[in-house]
Amino acid sequence: MAEIVDIAMARRAGDATALRARTEAACFEPPLTILTSIDIGDWRGLGARAIEPNGYYLPDWELAVNATAPGRTGVSALSARNGDKLIGLMPVVPLWRGAKIPLPALASAHPYGTLCTPLLDRDEAENAAQRLLEVARASGARALLLREVSLDGRTMKAFNSVLRGDGLRSRVLSWHLRASLDARGDADELLHEALSGKKLKELRRQRHRLAEHGDIVFNVARSPQEVASALEAFLKLEAGGWKGGRGTALAQVAGDAAFIRRAAPALARTGNCEIVTLRAGDTPVGAGIVLRHLTRAFFFKIGVDERFARFSPGVQLTLDLTRHLCADPLIASADSTAAPDHPMINPIWRGRFAIGDVLIPLRQNDPLFTLIHAALTARTLARKTARGAVHCIRALRKR
């Protein structure tokens, strides 16, 4: 019965998605492509040739998000081809949807994960970037907002090279440092460098205490069937924690639950998704969803059983995940996809890279671009001020 309900909901959501995409694409000229019309084989081929990994823009993930995830459906795309070969792809929405600013610009579509780096063919990166900008320009947009991109990555370097050739310059609206893992080193050496001997001793003590509830086992689900089963355990853990208390757990929103139940097993079929679980006996105490793309892993979400909070199950899971990724010869790095200064992951994964929002002009000396830039700058400042006020209020409440 649940499967029938999910299928019916997906069909209704698919109809609504297509209608919204056609409506919003109509605000711009025909060069914009409806996301669902892109050939999956072409998209997967581009993903395999991408100059920079982004597991959140792989087709099985982004199409699942686009189908049912509330607020993230009805996406269009900028696509670039060289003959029959897809060489560039950037899912987009109008700036009004992305930032509530009614000006003629396009913004990266948010794929649920906190990374929106477009896919560019590694052999034609600058050509792909040039063509994506041309399509955006032909659509009637006056600016292109790249949200949450790696500022020093090869994709952004390709865009900036093209912009310099056109006499244009991108503007960084905001940025922060995000935790990452260099998985090419020895895991135990990395952990000893990251954590003090005293902290590691305390974590070992907690793990021994956790083992009193059953043998500690770290499991990696890889096949579609294994991933589908492990996902249900993850969803239960997440909903039972603080996210469940806030009503933001994936399982609590029908469209979000449908998206992740579709995306995770689909990506597992191509080796792009794993679910890691830490158990004490038969009890899952922590679980995490990990995407894989090329040589990079992406730590999407974590869920823990808060009844075992005194044993730090989230940290214990992350330590085992670190060892797992460092032992994998196919993985060179891992993106935490976490918020800045994340209290759990930052002390463990000590690598850092810059993530930011970048505004790209599409014409020289365009007064509308100046207006768009000013509006986004004011919005960014207002959001920073609001976040600062919230932090102050929380700090006062703790006194």
What's the CATH number where 386 sits?
3.40.630.30
What CATH number does the domain containing 263 carry? Answer: 3.40.630
Is the full-model pTM beyond 0.85?
A: yes
| Angstrom distance (rounded) from CA 132 to CA 88 | 7
Pairing of strands 333-335, 296-304: parallel
Residues 72, 116 within the same domain: yes
- pLDDT the model gives residue 8: 42
Cα distance between residue 117 and residue 108, in whole Å: 8
Determine how many CB atoms are found less than 10 A away from the CB of residue 384.
Answer: 11
Do residue 282 and residue 361 come from a single domain? no
pLDDT given for residue 99 in this prediction = 93
The verdict on 269 and 230 lying in the same domain is: yes
Strand intervals (E) in the chain: 33-34, 76-82, 85-94, 106-108, 119-120, 143-150, 171-182, 216-221, 273-280, 283-293, 296-304, 333-335, 351-361
48 assigned to some structural domain: yes
| Number of other CB atoms surrounding residue 239 within 10 Å | 18
Do residues 47 and 164 share a domain? yes
Number of domains the chain is built from: 2
DSSP 307-353: GGGGG-HHHHHHHHHHHHHHT-TT--EEE--PPTT-TTTTTT--EEE
pLDDT for the residue 12: 47
| Boundary-marking domain end, from 281, 316, 331 | 331
Q: What pLDDT, on a 0 to 100 scale, did the predictor assign at position 7? A: 35
Q: Tell me, yes or no, whether 51 and 163 share the same domain.
A: yes
Q: Domain containing 252: what range?
A: 184-331
**Which pLDDT score, from 0 to 100, does residue 384 have?**
77
Residue 59 Cα distances to 20, 66, 70, 91, 130, angstroms: 19, 10, 18, 11, 22
Which residue type sits at 108? S
In a domain, 370, yes or no: yes
| Secondary structure element (H or E) that encloses residue 197, with its range | helix 197-210
Instruction: Give me the DSSP letters along 347-367.
Output: TT--EEEEEEEEEEESSTT-H
Asked if residues 128 and 158 have their Cβ atoms less than 8 Å apart, the reply is yes
In a domain, 341, yes or no: no
Nearest to 72 by CA among 91, 59, 54, 86: 91
Q: Is residue 348 part of a domain?
A: no
99 domain-assigned: yes
Q: 166 and 246 in one domain?
A: no
Looking at the structure, tell me whether residues 95 and 59 fall in a common domain.
Answer: yes
Are residues 170 and 218 both part of a single domain? Answer: no
Could you tell me the mean pLDDT of each successive run of 10 residues in the chain, 399 residues long?
35 46 49 94 98 98 98 96 97 95 97 97 98 96 98 98 98 97 96 95 97 98 98 97 92 97 98 98 98 98 97 98 98 96 96 98 97 96 73 57
322 inside domain:
yes
Domain end residue (candidates: 281, 297, 331)? 331
Query: In the listed set 331, 346, 370, which residue is the last one of a domain according to the structure?
Result: 331
* Residue 297 shares a structural domain with residue 378: no
Q: How many CA atoms lie within 13 A of 294 on its CB side?
A: 20
Give me the pLDDT at residue 22, please.
45
In a domain? residue 106 = yes
First to last CA, the chain: 51
Whole-angstrom distance, CA of residue 129 vs CA of residue 360: 12
Q: Is residue 336 included in any domain, yes or no?
A: no
Residue 228 shares a structural domain with residue 191: yes
pLDDT at 10: 41
Residue 81 tokens, joined: 């081809």
Mark whether 263 and 133 lie in a shared domain. no
Q: Does residue 154 share a domain with residue 258?
A: no
